[in-house]
Amino acid sequence: MEKRVYNLSAGPAILPEEVLLEAQKEFFSYKGSGMSVMEMSHRGKIYDQIHQEAEADLRSLLNIGDNYSVLFLQGGATLQFSMVPMNILKGKADYILTGAWAKKAAKEAKKIGSVNIAGSTESENFNRLPRQDELKLDSEASYVHFTSNNTIFGTQYRTEPEVGNIPLVCDTSSDMLHKKFDVNKYALIYAGAQKNMGPSGCTLVIVRKDMLERSDDSLHTYLNYKTHAESNSLYNTPPTFSIYIMGLVYKWLLKNGGLDWIYKVNSEKAGMLYDFIDGSDGFYKSAVAVKEDRSLMNVTFSTPNEDLDKKFIAESAVKGFSGLKGHRSVGGLRASIYNAFPQKGVEDLVEFMKDFKAKN
Ligand SMILES: *Cc1c(COP(=O)(O)O)cnc(C)c1O
């Protein structure tokens, strides 16, 4: 078999090897059908089963009730920045700014209604999350939007901000399914597949059914959540291959022990890396100012200077670690250790970091 690298890319990102091998086995001819999943009709029996199972497995992983619709859409999380306000913003909405993605979401909402920035740490370069006591929520807002994990800055909410009775909307693109959470706290959740769930091309939306009543019939058909809820995400051709791979990822999670299992693994992996960074006598520094805000998914850090960061990236690549460069807007280093990133990979990364520190 071809050798694989330790892929620490922020997204598209690493997938479980078992899933890739399963897909490889079924690639040429899916379960005796004589064709690849890519080649089959989205209206046929075989694909229909893949589609239904993906939804059922996701519902079982997250314990999603019948009062929620699960949608498989296209256009990335980026289209949701627009679809969310187009469908459910009536007048005004609250946005919590915790990074570049949250800002982009707020920018689109402003085209639909009035946006109240309910909290922001932009003046501190998003190196922490706004505290609950810093939030200025508007009780009449259509919803509060927040980003659960900030892929670029490496911060992550441990629990949802408290928003009382205002509907809660969340962009969970980079930490969806990294642990169990209570879907019932949310009016709408969305996530691009390509960070923690599958290949690019599919965006998951979980929307509470009462929210669908807000969608105006004057909206363009594809942009209306009701269209997709009523047609079971088969109004037009869905991203069939992405949904198929996501379905395999859901089965991989279920088989191994579900979200409690993966949360334990994720906590151990991130714990190992942060403990090493904290114990490195200041050689490595976390980019996040508040420990409780550190992400379990994207570990942002740096060496004593930019030249050493560059050297770190070059030398780590030679040793088989890919994607450790920080986002172009912030620099530094970033290790994205999503669900599929193996524990052994974190152990080997820590060994490499020890060695790099000793030599520099
Ligand atoms: C990557 C990312 C996005 C953008 O996703 P696209 O699928 O490229 O549109 C949005 N929000 C967060 C938190 C992300 O990590």
pLDDT attached to residue 80: 98
- Is the CB of 101 within 6 Å of ligand 1? yes
What the block records as the tokens of 348 is 């080997």
**Which residue numbers are catalytic?**
101, 171, 195
SS3 68: strand
Kindly give the confidence (pLDDT) of every residue in the chain, 360 residues in length, as a single tens digit, with 9 standing for 90 and above: 788 999 999 999 999 999 999 999 999 999 999 999 999 999 999 999 999 999 999 999 999 999 999 999 999 999 999 999 999 999 999 999 999 999 999 999 999 999 999 999 999 999 999 999 999 999 999 999 999 999 999 999 999 999 999 999 999 999 999 999 999 999 999 999 999 999 999 999 999 999 999 999 999 999 999 999 999 999 999 999 999 999 999 999 999 999 999 999 999 999 999 999 999 999 999 999 999 999 999 999 999 999 999 999 999 999 999 999 999 888 999 999 999 999 999 999 999 999 999 999
Helix, strand or coil, per DSSP, at residue 246: helix
Could you tell me which residues come within 8 angstroms of residue 79 by beta carbon, excluding any fewer than 6 positions away? 73, 203
Strand spans (E) along 128-251: 144-147, 149-150, 155-156, 168-171, 188-192, 203-208
Cα–Cα distance measured from residue 250 to residue 72, given in angstroms and rounded to the nearest whole number: 14
How many whole angstroms separate alpha carbon 82 and alpha carbon 74?
13
pTM over 0.95: yes
Distance (Å) from CA 204 to ligand 1 centroid: 12
For residue 16, whether the previous peptide bond is cis, meaning omega lies within 30 degrees of 0, is: no
So what's the pLDDT on residue 329? Answer: 85
Ligand 1 atom closest to Cα of 150? 13
In angstroms, the Cα distances linking 290 to 23, 55, 156, 287, 331 are 41, 37, 11, 9, 19
Domain topology for 18-255: Aspartate Aminotransferase; domain 2 (3.40.640)
The predicted structure's pLDDT at residue 2: 82
Locate the domains of the chain by residue range: 18-255, 258-359
149 Cα–ligand 1 center, Å: 10
CB 308 within 8 A of CB 315: no
d(CA 203, CA 211): 18
Output the pLDDT for position 284: 98
Question: Residue 92, exposed/middle/buried by CB under 10 A (0-12, 13-18, 19+)?
Answer: middle
Up-side HSE of residue 312: CA atoms within 13 Å toward CB?
Answer: 30
Nearest atom (ligand 1) to Cα of 147: 13
> Which DSSP helix (H) or strand (E) runs through 117?
strand 114-120
Give the number of other Cβ atoms within 10 Å of residue 330's Cβ: 18
Q: Is 263 in the pocket of ligand 1 (CB under 6 A)?
A: no
The token duo for 260 is 């409690």
Supply the DSSP string of 89-112, one letter for each residue: -SSEEEEEE-SHHHHHHHHHHTTT
CATH H-level superfamily of 258-359: Aspartate Aminotransferase, domain 1 (3.90.1150.10)
Task: Take atom 10 of ligand 1 and give the residue whose Cα is closest.
Answer: 77
Question: Partners of 334 in the beta sheet?
Answer: 300
Q: How many Å separate Cα 354 from the centre of its chain?
A: 30
174 lines ligand 1 (CB under 6 A): yes
Distance 174 CA to ligand 1 centre (A): 7
> What is the best residue among 78, 205, 242, 246 to mutate for testing ligand 1's pocket, by most ligand atoms within 8 Å of CB?
78
- Is there an atom of ligand 1 within 6 Å of 126 CB? no
How many other CB atoms are found less than 10 A from the CB of residue 38? 10
